Structure 1
Amino acid sequence: MKNLDICAAQYCSVAGDLNANIDRHVQFMRHAAKQGVEFLLFPELSLTGYEPSLARELAQTPDVALLQPLRELAKQSGMTTVVGLPLRQVGSDAILIGALVFAADGSQATYTKQHLHPGEEAVFSPGDGGALLNIKAEHIALSVCADFTHASHAQAAAHAGAGVYATSVLISENGYPHDSGLLEDYAREHSLGVLMANHGGPSGGWACAGRSAFWAPGGKRVVSAAGTGDCLVIARRRQGVWQGQVVECSATP
């Protein structure tokens, strides 16, 4: 079993400001690269914040040039990076909750949220998910928030051969006990490593819980942010054993 370094970027989005968030994503990516991270996961809609009322005007196509600095840095650092934003497809009016994957080899993939929370359908359309990622021979399955509340989603990931289930979320203080319990259950029931990247501060009117975390296969919580705020929650596998580290993110890398 190969060594592996994966990371949840616990991130406080600037509401509705793509340019500011791109700059801050670059800072986070540089911090993570210095830590030797090979897979970096940002929260749901990290590039805009969870702002449904702004989603239609902020939505981008997957190939938008605005995100080129993130693509280039992912390739330069050899760190596959997953960022969140509202997506529109060419020739369609539908707006999807998307996760763009900027791979270490310069390629790009898209994951779109399959299951919507009640009320999200007023703005967003259900997506189609996405393929497993391959990081150093480890298969990683993506999910976005409400996807993981459907037990069949994690089960399908395990059956497809995933070793890690990586979920980009917005989880509130009130929802955290229940939702983190579900993720722990998936780690135990399906022998999955489970990585969760949550917002580190308020977004879209929600008081987000932070406490991004990683559970090892079997259900043990290896590492978690203590609360809210910007940080990297890193899980490192060495000789088959998972260890954790939390790194605070300052304004400059």
Structure 2
Amino acid sequence: MSRWNIAAAQYVRQDDCVDSHVAHHLRFIAEAARHQCDLLVFPELSLTGPGDTTLPPPPGDRQLEPILNATRQHRITVIAGITVDKLGQRQKGLALFSPCSDTIHRYPQGSGASLIPGEKQLTIIDTDADAPNLDPLATLFASSQDVGDNRWRQSINALQRFAHKYAIAVLMANARSGSALWDEKGQLIVRADKGELLLTGSRDRRGWQGDIIPLG
């Protein structure tokens, strides 16, 4: 595709109610679609909340169906934060909603996911591995996080190094503040302050450009 428009939802959870999160996600999706975004990435556990003492149960397909319908309506791919049960253990995960698929795809969160524009699947990446399993055709690494100041500084330093080392653009969606986009050289394109907003990036033949869109 000659132009690729992406966005990170800087989304602050208010409670642990899946239905209210779904409704709020729909607002972000509509706003991203209004700005002609092809991809929208939410922070970790954006659809479930973190729970009080343990991670909450994974939401079912019926609860998440409105998001799948919205991705079809707006022709936008969405990555949101959920929980998943794997091998009897509950862990943080990612849900992929694609306008070209009738299925909600669920993955463990890992360190993030690489993707190719227009593809219907994610490749989950462990950034601590000696040789991350990046697809050579992947053009973006997406990281869903919910970190405060100290961990945020560690995260942005690590993600910037990752972008430069593997020559891949990196999009970070952080729940609290500081969502960011780096280009394939590790150069910062745009970074957000606090508040609920969309951080957008657009890539064409000239490279990446970024913007911040408050949600009023």
* Change beyond 3 A, Cα 1:26–1:93: same
Runs of at least 5 residues in structure 2 that lack an aligned partner in the other structure? none
Contact 1:4 1:236 in 2 (8 A): yes
Q: Report the equivalent of 2:58.
A: 60
Amino acid at match of 1:110: R
Contact 2:117 2:139 in 1 (8 A): no
Moved over 6 A (4+): none
- Residues 1:235 and 2:201 are matched in the alignment: yes
Post-superposition shift, 1:134?
Answer: 3.4
Contact 1:140 1:166 in 2 (8 A): no
Q: For 2:23, what is the secondary structure of its paired residue?
A: helix
- Residues 1:216 and 2:183 are matched in the alignment: yes
Identity %: 25
**Equivalent of 1:196, from 165, 172, 189?**
172
Q: Report the equivalent of 2:99.
A: 104
Contact 1:142 1:167 in 2 (8 A): no
Q: Which moved more, 1:42-51 or 1:210-219?
A: 42-51
Runs of at least 5 residues in structure 1 that lack an aligned partner in the other structure? 116-128, 201-209
Post-superposition shift, 1:76?
Answer: 1.0
In 2, Cα distance between the equivalents of 1:195 and 1:182?
12
* Change beyond 3 A, Cα 1:152–1:2: farther
In 1, Cα distance between the equivalents of 2:52 and 2:2?
40
* Change beyond 3 A, Cα 1:98–1:152: same
In 1, Cα distance between the equivalents of 2:195 and 2:129?
29
- Residues 1:2 and 2:9 are matched in the alignment: no
Amino acid at match of 1:223: V
**Equivalent of 2:153, from 163, 166, 177?**
177
- Residues 1:84 and 2:81 are matched in the alignment: yes
Q: Report the equivalent of 1:43.
A: 43
TM-score, with normalisation over the residues of structure 2?
0.89
Contact 1:72 1:106 in 2 (8 A): no
Contact 1:16 1:49 in 2 (8 A): yes
CA deviation map 1:61-120 (0-9, x unaligned): 5x520111000001111100011111236xx642131111000213432221347xxxxx
Q: How does 1:66-145 map to 2 (within 5 A)?
A: 66-88=63-85, 93-107=88-102, 108-114=104-110, 133-136=115-118, 141-142=123-124
Q: Report the equivalent of 1:167.
A: 143
Q: How many residues align?
A: 215
Post-superposition shift, 1:141?
Answer: 4.7
Post-superposition shift, 1:156?
Answer: 2.2
Post-superposition shift, 1:194?
Answer: 0.2
* Change beyond 3 A, Cα 1:142–1:6: farther
Q: Report the equivalent of 1:246.
A: 212
In 2, Cα distance between the equivalents of 1:197 and 1:243?
17
Q: Report the equivalent of 2:133.
A: 156
CA deviation map 1:18-47 (0-9, x unaligned): 111111001111111101000100000011
Q: For 2:210, what is the secondary structure of its paired residue?
A: strand
Q: For 2:116, what is the secondary structure of its paired residue?
A: strand
* Bigger strand fraction: 2
Alpha-carbon RMSD across the aligned residues, in angstroms, is 2.5
Post-superposition shift, 1:170?
Answer: 1.6
Post-superposition shift, 1:142?
Answer: 4.9
In 2, Cα distance between the equivalents of 1:243 and 1:165?
16
Amino acid at match of 1:235: G
